[in-house]
Structure 1
């Protein structure tokens, strides 16, 4: 999520982050600074846990550790070269601002020294001609200082505009890096990150958490029969349906191929099943049409499985259980929703046979 700290808060966090980086011998690169700023600001509880674990264990922040922290908490599969280039441009723009401030400080120092010098000379009851020369020199120095400040104002305004533009460009890159290009849903990397965060929040707040795994029925048949362009059309259709139905606090993602996932924080299993049924019903109500010919090609159906988070389990276990319920829905005829309750019933039935 994009955040904007007040200038005093941002300055405090930036100084604290740089101080900690220096103490722990972390190179002050833009990537490392982004991680430590987020750590100091308390922006990401999972990041805080990861760094605190290293600190408490006496670990060192080697280049590999720093890269792993950045990969895990700041990058979601984006083109690193492109992001690095923008990061360097931001660094360059900030450097220019610091240079302008340094020049202004130097100019102010020179001006102050000149005033002090002339003041000392005037205190000795100078002759009128000398007084005129001294005042003229002060006026000349004053004009120089005014010009320096005018240039500084222009340079700072230009640099501020460039930094805002680069910040927006970085935001766009991060958004693209976390998004599946075809469906505009979160991609797999973003899903993995969001699930870790959702589990952490569920543990912290002791609130329910559920996961839906959803698969398009007979998708390969559509692709083989009508071609990949139609397959892409179906994927987009499902993506739009998920976007329309899930809430802001939820995360809908393209998990891979024709499989989708929905993370439902603060949602119990019964409510999760209702969400899954709404998604299944909305997609099933649509008819796929060949846009070129207008021919109606048929109905798209979904199979879905729902699992609830068990406190203390890892993300892989939750995904595995949701996947098992999805496979049960397919096994029982597709175009339906199953939960881990159905999974338990199926297991008992199998044992009794």
Structure 2
């Protein structure tokens, strides 16, 4: 949730001030990929990224554009997306190999075609058994070589088919991984946006109702600062599990970004959405997550929520905005509560 009065605003402003000077010193300049890399570097949460950047700087003194991109892919891009890049590279390499092999076989076929013409000429001019035998031996050699080329190409094509089948299976899995948030087990922002877009297109005479819940973990920065980021990750995972349990098959849930979650309830009125939101809020409030170091339960972890339902004239952006505004009201009025969005004016 973007909130002008949130604790994150000062942090993000400070990170922006640190990030811009870092970007100016390196070859990639102000490209978005460069900003993403140096923002995460300045933030300091990714120790492996900092170590890799520092090692590169120690060697070169300045990051090249290609080094910036390589570090971005390795440390910023989601693992599933990296696998897609790898699968695409494997397919391109395989296609290139097939093209080279078929080109070579095509060249050999042209040579064999010439040999056939020569064989026909020898047959027509043969005047003795020796001439005929010589032509047949030459033809057998040419046919044998062509047969071997075809067998090799056939084997290579079979290997290619097997590789394509394997890559297809990996891509099928990636299609699921790319839209799943690894920490919470829910959809990620990309997957949720796709579901929201589809649901909005179905909303009409056949499915007149659509409700959205936006959820934010209260004082999440304080939780991270007090108990550490590993514990913060456990909080996100636990709340993701609580949301999934309350939503079940009624709708789809996602980690919308950072400590914010979203729940989409197709064909459900706002009253049902409010009940679901309250159930999630109560389950989180009643839950206790224990610290691994001391087994001490940590209390006072709560969430705030905003609920909005689809109205005539709505689009995806306006629905999300109204739910987000309701969430902001919940935060402003004390947190650990659910607010229903006002009807669109």
TM-score of the two chains, using structure 2 as the length reference = 0.62
Say which SS state the counterpart of residue 203 (structure 2) adopts.
helix
Cross-structure match for 2:51: none
Q: 1:112 and 1:273, CA in 2 relative to 1: closer, same or farther beyond 3 A? A: farther
Deviation of the 1:139 alpha carbon: 1.5
Cross-structure match for 2:37: none
Cross-structure match for 1:301: 302
- Is the Cα contact below 8 Å between 1:78 and 1:174 reproduced in 2? no
- Is the Cα contact below 8 Å between 2:189 and 2:256 reproduced in 1? yes
Cross-structure match for 1:32: none
In structure 2, C-alpha distance between the alignment counterparts of 1:249 and 1:141, rounded to whole Å? 69
In structure 2, C-alpha distance between the alignment counterparts of 1:254 and 1:327, rounded to whole Å? 17
Cross-structure match for 2:203: 202
Q: 1:274 and 1:135, CA in 2 relative to 1: closer, same or farther beyond 3 A? A: farther
Structure 2, unmatched stretches of 5+, are 1-75
Deviation of the 1:246 alpha carbon: 4.3
For 1:266-345, what aligned pairs fall within 5 Å after superposition?
266-298=267-299, 300-330=301-331, 334-340=335-341, 343=342
Q: 1:270 and 1:107, CA in 2 relative to 1: closer, same or farther beyond 3 A? A: farther
Cross-structure match for 1:93: 94
Cross-structure match for 2:104: 103
- Mapped pair 1:234 → 2:235: yes
Structure 1, unmatched stretches of 5+, are 1-75, 348-353
Question: More displaced, 98-107 or 79-88?
Answer: 79-88
In structure 1, C-alpha distance between the alignment counterparts of 2:303 and 2:296, rounded to whole Å? 22
Deviation of the 1:92 alpha carbon: 2.4
RMSD (Å) for aligned C-alpha atoms: 3.8
Deviation of the 1:260 alpha carbon: 0.9
Question: More displaced, 103-112 or 87-96?
Answer: 103-112
Deviations 1:181-218 (A, max 9, x none): 53343333444444334323436965533211012234
Cross-structure match for 1:156: 157
Q: 1:311 and 1:157, CA in 2 relative to 1: closer, same or farther beyond 3 A? A: farther
Cross-structure match for 2:4: none
For 1:53-64, what aligned pairs fall within 5 Å after superposition?
none
Q: 1:203 and 1:134, CA in 2 relative to 1: closer, same or farther beyond 3 A? A: farther
In structure 1, C-alpha distance between the alignment counterparts of 2:277 and 2:117, rounded to whole Å? 78
- Is the Cα contact below 8 Å between 1:242 and 1:279 reproduced in 2? yes
Q: 1:151 and 1:211, CA in 2 relative to 1: closer, same or farther beyond 3 A? A: same
- Is the Cα contact below 8 Å between 2:207 and 2:267 reproduced in 1? no
Count of aligned positions:
268
In structure 2, C-alpha distance between the alignment counterparts of 1:93 and 1:207, rounded to whole Å? 49
Q: 1:308 and 1:141, CA in 2 relative to 1: closer, same or farther beyond 3 A? A: same
TM-score of the two chains, using structure 1 as the length reference = 0.61
For 1:1-353, what aligned pairs fall within 5 Å after superposition?
87-119=88-120, 121-122=122-123, 126-164=127-165, 178-202=179-203, 207-246=208-247, 250-298=251-299, 300-330=301-331, 334-340=335-341, 343=342
Q: 1:97 and 1:250, CA in 2 relative to 1: closer, same or farther beyond 3 A? A: farther
Question: More displaced, 137-146 or 167-176?
Answer: 167-176
Q: 1:229 and 1:104, CA in 2 relative to 1: closer, same or farther beyond 3 A? A: same
Say which SS state the counterpart of residue 263 (structure 1) adopts.
strand
- Is the Cα contact below 8 Å between 1:288 and 1:299 reproduced in 2? no
In structure 1, C-alpha distance between the alignment counterparts of 2:313 and 2:135, rounded to whole Å? 79
In structure 2, C-alpha distance between the alignment counterparts of 1:308 and 1:126, rounded to whole Å? 95
Deviations 1:114-172 (A, max 9, x none): 34543454356753222222222222122112211222133223444444555566667
In structure 1, C-alpha distance between the alignment counterparts of 2:191 and 2:309, rounded to whole Å? 20
Q: 1:151 and 1:290, CA in 2 relative to 1: closer, same or farther beyond 3 A? A: same
